[in-house]
Amino acid sequence: MAEIGHNSGVAADRLKSFIDRIENLIEDRKAVQEDIKLVFAEAKAEGFNVKTMRRVLQLKAMKPHDRSEQAQLLDVYCAAVGVEDLFL
């Protein structure tokens, strides 16, 4: 464990540096997040359905193999429970 205190402030400075770097990165992340929100808002303003868009993004992000595997399992489970699983 890094020791802070006593008579040297070097560990403290090091910590401060880490904290600052992370704070800046968190700022960046927030900015990107804000951009994403804006694009969704724009799409919504043109009449697109945001929720469905999110789903499409999820599907695109999935590897095709995983996708079909999950889909099959969902099929089986839905059949077992008596739920129609049409394409969601």
Partner DNA sequence: AACGTTGAAATAGTTC
Partner DNA sequence: GAACTATTTCAACGTT
Name 61's Cβ contacts closer than 8 Å, sequence gap at least 6.
none
Q: Rule CB under 7 A: say whether 72 interacts with DNA.
A: no
Give me the count of residues in the chain.
Answer: 88
Out of 10, 31, 44, 48, which residue is the one contacting DNA (CB under 7 A)?
A: 44
Cβ proximity to DNA, 7 vs 86, nearer residue: 86
Give the integer Cα–Cα distance in Å for 36 and 30.
Answer: 10
Q: C-beta of 54: minimal distance to DNA in Å? A: 5
Sign of CA dihedral 42, 43, 44, 50: negative
Question: Which residues, listed in sequence order, are joined to residue 8 by a DSSP beta bridge?
Answer: 5
- Within residues 11-70, the interface with its own copies by CB under 8 A covers 11-16, 18-19, 21-23, 25-26, 28-29, 32-33, 35-36, 39-40, 42-43, 46-49, 51-53, 55-57, 59-61, 64, 67-68, 70
Q: Rule CB under 8 A: say whether 8 interacts with its own copies.
A: no
Q: Residue 37 CA to chain centroid, in angstroms?
A: 13
